[in-house]
Chains A and B, each alone.
Chain A
């Protein structure tokens, strides 16, 4: 039987938002409150922030006229963060592996893969990243 989330928080930001620390604070407090370890909270927050930064940088062509929607869902065994934007979506050839250190850029998405258990990208009226971290 599939059960729904025991707790859910939603946050909408304008695509031009520079107040991204607040996103980290909301995710950090939610994950901490439901008992994730300090190390897991740090990993979830870091991965989610990369998804939000990506949505600001690449997924909000109209800047403040676009909305970035963040949903944090807590289940019995996992925490899921969804970040949806109104951009063109993600390319098919997403780089999962950490690039060689000779390349300074391109670490945002590989960081997500390194820090949480599941990363999913969906293109449907914009881009959506779904990050899942299971309880230790």
Chain B
């Protein structure tokens, strides 16, 4: 079955970003996990970003992976930065779960 998701990775001198387009859910979580692991290898001391501005949907499996990544960064006294777009489902779900208390959540216009 074709996954309704595409992932790209982008880098600047300040950050390494995992950019998710489509659905981040039970059916696509393995691909996301693999990309986040690669981003950890690439990051050096840079900020790790998960960009969900083009993500249509995140479920509890996706939320779980955000928390796992954040916990790993916490060991380096750092936090995950999650970017969401105004009015999209991930913004609603992150607000309900209270993740902004433990990680950085930026609400922006769609990328």
Binding site for B on A (CB under 8 A): 18-21, 24, 38-39, 42-43, 45-46, 49-50, 53, 56-57, 98, 101-105, 107-108, 111, 114-115
Contact between chains at B59 and A98 (CB < 8 Å):
no
Contact A101 B98 (CB under 8 A): yes
A115 touches which of B23, B67, B96 (Cβ 8 Å): B96
Residues 43-62 of B at the A interface (beta carbon under 8 Å)? 57, 59-61
A21-B23, A98-B97, A101-B98 known; A107 vs B63 contact (CB < 8 Å): yes
Cα separation A21 to B60 with both chains bound (whole Å)? 15
In Å, the complex CA distance between A115 and B98 comes to 14
A71 vs B96: C-alpha distance in the bound complex, in angstroms?
Answer: 26
Contact B92 A50 (CB under 8 A): no
Residues of B within 8 A of A (CB): 1, 4, 23, 25-27, 57, 59-61, 63-65, 67-68, 71, 87, 89, 92-93, 96-99, 101-102
Q: What residues on A are CB-neighbors of B87 within 8 Å?
A: 38
Residue of B nearest to A113 (CB): B96
A-B contact pairs, 15 of them (CB 8 A): A18-B1, A20-B26, A43-B92, A46-B59, A53-B25, A53-B26, A98-B97, A98-B98, A103-B67, A104-B64, A104-B68, A104-B71, A107-B97, A108-B60, A111-B96
CA of A56 to CA of B89, assembled, Å = 22
Overall SS of chain B's interface: helix
Known A-B contacts A21-B4, A50-B60, A53-B60; the reply to A42 vs B89 at CB < 8 A is yes
Query: What residues of chain A lie closer than 8 Å to B63, measured between beta carbons?
Result: 104, 107
- Which residue of chain B lies nearest to A38 when distances are taken between CB atoms in the complex? B87
Closest 5 A/B residue pairs (Cβ):
A104-B67, A107-B60, A108-B60, A101-B102, A114-B96
